[in-house]
């Protein structure tokens, strides 16, 4: 298997571990607070790579960081209202959104993508029918998927133009700045004063999210997607809900009912179906 694909698979595995962690942290911290803290920690790790960065790197880092921050905050907010495995399946809709957004940007849309979209809608309907559905949580998580789909598309377009370490460092640094401004602007004095105490109770998990899942994985993602198309990367990302459901079961004893499980399977099938044609074309070129 292509080593860059294996690298993305490893990234996806680590992302799968974050869903139950975020679910646990969201009890005491808001989505904006979690995102701001994790990216401040990640930015500290990548500060050495900010030296001699060009204006172009900062420009693309701001674009990527903006979409990624919206995605992470929306995902964390959604986890305050829905289960981690439900969040993982809905978040993974970004894999389906990549080719659909490509059509909006002027690329062709095949019949299998249309069928996949209908299949995904059916799957989401079944998951929403299952207990645990919440309009706010589901809507925020779908917004997270949309923002991340745009992130994947733009990352594949721009990753090859810059040094991977600098691109990861600039976007994470800007995400930390944006996240802190967002957190301060949206919180009252009492909330900010209590933040250190609430943060300390989840410090190991926050360090993992910041250092490993953010700094480490965003760097590896930027490195691998220099050589992997957005569509092909999206196929690998389809494994994220599988890993998330596994860790949710192991750590939180979460489970889906029959309808919810069937809906999740249909969503994953829809995402894979939406990429089959593109994957075949890429394979024949390889």
- The rounded distance, in Å, linking the Cα atoms of 16 and 245 is 8
Q: What would the pLDDT profile of 19-43 be if each residue is shown by its tens digit?
A: 778 878 888 998 889 889 999 999 9
pLDDT interval class at 265 (50, 70, 90): confident
Query: Three-class SS string for 246-266?
Result: HHHHHHHCCCCCHHHHHHHHH
Residue keyed to tokens 């499980």: 261
CA 223 to chain centre: 17
**What's the pLDDT at 41?**
94
Distances (CA, A) of 121 to 96, 147, 161, 239, 266: 11, 18, 36, 19, 9
**What's the pLDDT at 35?**
86
Query: Three-class SS string for the chain?
Result: CCHHHHHHHHHHHHHHHHHHHHHHHCCCCCHHHHHHHHHHHHHHHHHHHHCCCCHHHHHHHHHHHHHHHHHHHHHHHHCCCCCHHHHHHHHCCHHHHHHHHHHHCCCCCCHHHHHHHHHHHHHHHHHHHCCCCCHHHHHHHHHHHHHHHHHHHHHHHHHHHCCHHHHHHHHHHHHHHHHHHHHHHHCCHHHHHHHHHHHHCCHHHHHHHHHHHHHHHHHHHHHHCCCCCHHHHHHHHCCHHHHHHHHHHHHHCCCCCHHHHHHHHHHHHHHHHHHHHHHHHHHHHC
Q: Mean per-residue pLDDT for 41-46? A: 92
Q: Mean per-residue pLDDT for 201-214? A: 92
**What's the pLDDT at 6?**
84
Supply the mean pLDDT for the chain: 81
Q: What would the pLDDT profile of 89-145 be if each residue is shown by its tens digit?
A: 787 777 778 777 877 776 666 676 667 767 776 776 676 555 566 788 889 999 999
- The rounded distance, in Å, linking the Cα atoms of 147 and 283 is 28
Q: What would the pLDDT profile of 169-199 be if each residue is shown by its tens digit?
A: 999 999 999 889 989 988 888 889 999 999 9
Q: Say yes or no to pLDDT of 267 above 70.
A: yes
**What's the pLDDT at 284?**
39
**What's the pLDDT at 128?**
57
Q: Mean per-residue pLDDT for 59-77? A: 89
Q: Which domain holds residue 246?
A: 3-285
Cβ-based neighbours of 262, under 8 Å, separated by 6 or more: 123, 126
* Contact in structure between 176 and 42 (CB atoms under 8 Å): yes
pTM of the model: 0.74
Q: Mean per-residue pLDDT for 209-233? A: 85
Total tally of structural domains belonging to the chain: 1
pLDDT interval class at 207 (50, 70, 90): very high
Q: Say yes or no to pLDDT of 59 above 80.
A: yes
**What's the pLDDT at 271?**
64
């Amino acid at each position: 298997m292509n080593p860059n694909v294996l690298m993305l698979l490893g990234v996806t595995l680590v992302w799968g571990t974050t869903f139950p962690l975020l679910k646990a942290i969201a009890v005491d911290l808001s989505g904006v607070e979690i995102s701001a803290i994790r990216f401040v920690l990640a930015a500290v790790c990548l500060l050495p790579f900010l030296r001699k960065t060009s204006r172009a790197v900062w420009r693309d880092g701001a674009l990527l960081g903006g979409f990624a921050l919206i995605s992470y905050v929306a995902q964390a907010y959604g986890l305050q209202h829905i289960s981690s495995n439900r969040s993982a399946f809905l978040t993974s809709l970004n894999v389906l959104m990549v080719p659909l957004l490509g059509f909006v940007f002027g690329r062709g849309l095949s019949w299998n993508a249309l069928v996949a979209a209908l299949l995904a809608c059916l799957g989401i309907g079944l998951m929403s029918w299952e207990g645990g559905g919440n309009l706010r949580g589901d809507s925020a998580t779908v917004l997270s998927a949309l923002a991340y789909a745009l992130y994947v598309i733009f990352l594949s377009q721009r990753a090859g133009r810059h040094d991977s370490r600098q691109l990861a460092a600039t976007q994470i640094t800007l995400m930390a700045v944006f996240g802190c401004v967002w957190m301060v602007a949206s919180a009252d004095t009492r909330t900010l004063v209590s933040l250190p105490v609430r943060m300390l109770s989840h410090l190991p998990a926050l360090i993992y999210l910041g250092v490993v899942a953010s700094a480490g994985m965003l760097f590896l993602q930027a490195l691998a997607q220099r050589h992997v198309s957005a569509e092909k990367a999206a196929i690998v990302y389809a494994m994220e809900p599988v890993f998330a459901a596994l860790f949710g079961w192991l750590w939180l004893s979460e489970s889906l009912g029959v309808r919810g499980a069937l809906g999740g399977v249909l969503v994953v099938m829809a995402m894979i179906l939406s990429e089959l044609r593109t994957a075949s074309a890429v394979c024949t070129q390889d």
